[in-house]
Structure 1
């Protein structure tokens, strides 16, 4: 967006779009401040555009004792946090909320629709992210004065509302497609779970169907990257059924590492420990993108000998194995952990190759459809972004596109 707006629009720096407010955090040591019904919005909890809830709540006393209260319609956005390294989080309060010091709020001035204002700021995401500075703790930070200098175009209130309505048209289409995609994913998960349940009574253990079970590299000062740097997988990279390589860590590689710890296609990685007992032992299979990476010691690598790796992954994520971990894992420090012997003793049925193939055929077919649907969602998001950029620049061709989507 070049900052050229139609006749009748007002060029305005963000500093003049409303009243800017800073947030705060009440003392966490005072129980009278917390667990109330006022959502407390932080950098971590600001995840949706329509802000109405948080994982932490304040009492009336807490909200007035170190935090900041704003009513519905306040525009909130993150100005400090790890998320700023990759995304700019912004939204509009749908009810009265409090917020922390990692966020700022704008109470829109008269003549400015708060939802329009939030969209106008959001459209400047690329520019805003280019302004992010890194603190000594490694988190991202936005300088308020620089942020306030950014200019946006303000049309009449009626035009602002038409632009907001145009965005809502596409948002409804996207939301409907997301619901349908999530429904298909739930149906597929239930179908796979039902098929796996057939084998829950068959005796056997993981050690009987695996070639090896090995923990990864133990980190320490000697592993600080220096000259021979290698990327590796951590617990955070291994989700249920998926390995995320978007944020790989680095370590100093030693000569002995590759023969012992290099991952190959078909290796299954199992999470050793987690604060949430539901996440213990979650499993994912290494694909071509992850092949050649190393892995840390809070992950176990399983190499199957008598099982198709994807079938092994589905079984390791099944309710039967979840139940096993719940009865075996204990914690004394808030972290539930798995050791190698416990992992080797995981109940694992011996299933004919033809049955594994049949289950995987159904699973892969369903997964392909779901991925195509998510791709459609992503394409609609791109279309939405382009249309909003046009509308916020005063190009009304975008409105015609919105009308065609109704």
Structure 2
């Protein structure tokens, strides 16, 4: 899911005041000392990225774990010749354990490309029609306050052109943090959003809304008769051998090696440990867990046509501008951005309490994923430095001319 970091600062301060903190760091000076070392781990091909690229990546990772305030960070870069992993900082601010190269993170809205891929597979199987109304698949669900599933299409859900209000606008972070292990029903989350009017007429604007993907997950379940997570496992995780990727449901633990996840309640405040949380608060909009290795494999397979038929992949990559000055454009659960070295890359980002992820892939076989164990509470530069790390990695992983 995508959160507004500045807005959450005050809410999280309130959460601390009412005694919600799960754990607290020993202090920012410890973080800065431990983050100063950036290590390369497990490179399977030294030529995967050039020396200059690794130097720039090390600089960006060090920024993420010092200036930007994150405890730890990881980047995995992959091309056809192999992969390499760089890490910085710590996985645990108490033990000072380093970030492992095979770490799992909560990936937030990076869940959305998985959900969109399943919906588009159903389109390829003639079980869903992209430009059919949502009402056909979720009768009576999208109703009230000007929201109407009879005039919103499946395509508009996946592309954030539905105009449906974003549930995150109406969720109180302090209430979530009072009981971080509570179950949240997807239909209840949708109803919270639908109690408010749409932001624009369907098809007449673009605005990111997590409500769209809560509904997309419900659509998958109604069409297939199985939970959306089961369909992701059957159609994507198992065929690609993604051994470090999970759709956790109500499970609050992260399987396998993982860094602790932290939030910073306010500027210069100690960190809160929010590793254990029931991710049903995000559901199909952002609950998944994965690793840099698995996300690179998934994105590479997706953009190179291993998961979708050509017609559906073309629809996924048919973008519309978002108004972002960096040239970001949004397709169906997948966004494109221009690379500084030329061309485009395809990917997504994701935020959820404790973790932030950004990743991208090119159609010629390059992938890069960056992960940090802090959200919200990093500096305003954290997002930009993560994007810069993805772009640097992809540019330096270009095949030799």
| Shared fold per TM-score greater than 0.5 | no
More strand by share: 1
TM-score, normalization: structure 1? 0.21
Structure number with bigger Rg: 1
